[in-house]
Amino acid sequence: MLTARQGLRALPPLPALLTLPVLLALLTLCLALPAASPAQASPAQASPAEASPAQASAARAASRNPVVLVHGYNADPGVWGALRADLRAAGYTDAELFSFGYDTHRSVNEVLAGRLGAYVDQVRRETGAAEVDVVSHSFGSLVSRWYVKFGGGAAAVDHWVSLAGPNRGTSTAWACALWDQACRDMTPGSYVVKNLNSGDETPGAVKYATFWSHCDEVVNPDDSVPLNGATNTPVGCLEHNDLLGDDGTSAGVRAFLGS
């Protein structure tokens, strides 16, 4: 019986093992091994045409901004139910949709625009988004416009939408102007309206859009809504609050947000 030391000595020298047939077998094995190709894309680098549905959905979500919805006078975030449902059907998640609720009887420039700005900053922190899209209805248009033009919002807002906003004031606001600051802010020629429309009505790199009806019973005159420099879309004969649930208006808003 050989000891371990004797067994090692009994093996032939290493060079003697590398005969021609052995070398040929080793060479064949090496050639058969798959080599990593620098040109081969990893799953994360796959071309868009090869991306899975989940990857394509994630890519679309990454390119979207969170949406901040700003309701109008004497309203609350509940008015956005129809548009929120349409946005979810279009692929948005609840984590991308935010409704700013506020006391609609306060001053646009002294109180509300600043509170909206703080809310937008909170949304950006929570989502990690650099910018948000803002969709506002009626009086909310003045609040969000003041934030964009005078409150630093031009650097934080990508798309801005006004549905039936009294952007140049509305004569119906005189009915409550004696006792309500928000109504005074909505009157034609008010401090808020005058400053919002002085100089550039649509400042910065923000994309602006308005949607207006020629049958609006709240905003008078009807052409108070459109702005110079914005995409202004007439929606036909709809009452003031009907723009919130109108399918055509919703489709227009969603198309604009995706532009």
Q: Would 120 be classed as within a structural domain?
A: yes
Helix boundaries (H) for 90-204: 113-127, 140-150, 181-186, 191-196
Examine residue 34 and state whether it is found in any structural domain, yes or no: no
Asked, for residue 124, whether it belongs to a domain, the answer is yes
Specify the pTM: 0.78
In a domain, 131, yes or no: yes
pLDDT of residue 63: 75
Q: Are 185 and 113 within 8 A, CB to CB?
A: no
CATH number at residue 181: 3.40.50.1820
Strand duo 67-70 + 97-100: pairing: parallel
> For residue 93, what are the CA distances in angstroms to 39, 60, 61, 125, 177?
36, 12, 9, 17, 39
Q: Is residue 235 part of a domain?
A: yes
Asked if 97 and 83 count as a contact pair (C-beta separation under 8 A), the reply is no
Note whether residue 22 is domain-resident: no
Query: What's the structural domain count of the chain?
Result: 1
Extract the residue ranges of the chain whose pLDDT is less than 50: 1-49, 51, 53-59
pLDDT of residue 62: 62
Q: How far apart are CA 259 and CA 254, in angstroms?
A: 9
- 4-23 tens-digit pLDDT: 434 433 433 433 334 444 33
Instruction: Note the pLDDT of residue 90.
Output: 97
Domain range for 146: 65-257
| Residue 43 falls inside a structural domain | no
pLDDT digits (tens, 9 = 90+) for 193-224: 999 999 999 999 999 999 999 999 999 999 99
Assess if residue 225 is contained within a domain. Answer: yes
